[in-house]
Amino acid sequence: MHLSLRQIRIFEAVAQHQSYTRAAEKLHMTQPAVSMQIKQLEEDSGLALFERQGKRMCLTQTGHDLLHHASQVLQAYNDLLVAMEERKGVKGGHLIVSVATTANYFVTQLLAEFSRLHEGINVTLDVTNRHMLLDQLENHEPDMVIMGEPPKGYNLQSERLMENPLVMIAAPDHPFARQQATLTLDEVLSERFIIREKGSGTRSAIERHIQNFNKTCGSTLEMRSNETIKHAVEAGLGLGIVSLHTIQPELESGRLTTLNVEHFPIRRYWHIVMRKGKRLSPIAQEFKRFVMQEAPRFVQAWA
């Protein structure tokens, strides 16, 4: 039988997402095309790889056994690409970086500086949410990811990059903005909060922090990006909790202000995350070194 790399990628994606539709979205294909490829793979191999359980496409035992080998093939293919990149050294090559939405504010500026130092490289930058970052790591897509602390059990390795404090923000004309004394949690939690959607790493960190003090947010308004949160807070719709690294322009222009609240800021950290055993090309190694060296100093200049 003839087995293509494309079919292996499709098989792994359906196994991971347990859905033709979600796998198709991930691979930028149509759902019928994914379904057809899996059907063709099963017919050519004479093996039943999936079985439908309700709305989910679940691996059979045979499918489970073969998934490990499929992942090894994709890893070997990525290693081949890295070996080819190594022949180019740091003067060329392709760098693929994915970052959490809130890291975009400083990573884009770091990438701009890095690109000026290495003019012959090509860069792909994807800015997305935590869920998609984990999907990309599972599929061996980026060289590295810059995000908050990764979860356990995903076969990942990470290095702490720098501090990422979460601060409470308000419009400059909010009554709390004029208060000199430290605000209590009870005082601020009586207000409406503009927060990220469920599944966001920032929201999870905020909820865990508040629950540590046996508190909960009362009234909330969900939004899917930090930009919309900042605009909503600026318009007076409520308070927000965001990364300090995302609000420098607004603080400098006076459009937002940070509040002095007990138990704040929330201490978090950015991490550089990769698949365990990931082999980095020379340009990816150089970028990692550059980020580890420059990012803390870069952000410190904002303080």
Q: How far apart are CA 29 and CA 14, in angstroms?
A: 12
pTM for the whole structure? 0.70
CB atoms within 10 A of CB 240: 27
pLDDT value for 90 = 60
Matching residue, tokens 């809130």: 102
Peptide bond into 265 cis (omega under 30): yes
Task: Quote the strand ranges of the chain, DSSP E.
Answer: 50-53, 56-59, 94-100, 122-128, 144-147, 156-163, 166-170, 193-196, 220-223, 239-243, 257-258, 269-275
pLDDT at 236: 94
pLDDT of residue 174: 95
- pLDDT tens digits, residue range 270-288? 999 999 888 888 889 999 9
Q: 213-266, pLDDT tens digit by residue?
A: 999 888 889 998 889 999 999 999 999 999 998 898 899 999 999 999 999 999
pLDDT digits (tens, 9 = 90+) for 141-185: 899 999 988 888 788 999 999 999 999 999 999 999 988 899 999
Residue 302 has pLDDT above 60, yes or no: no
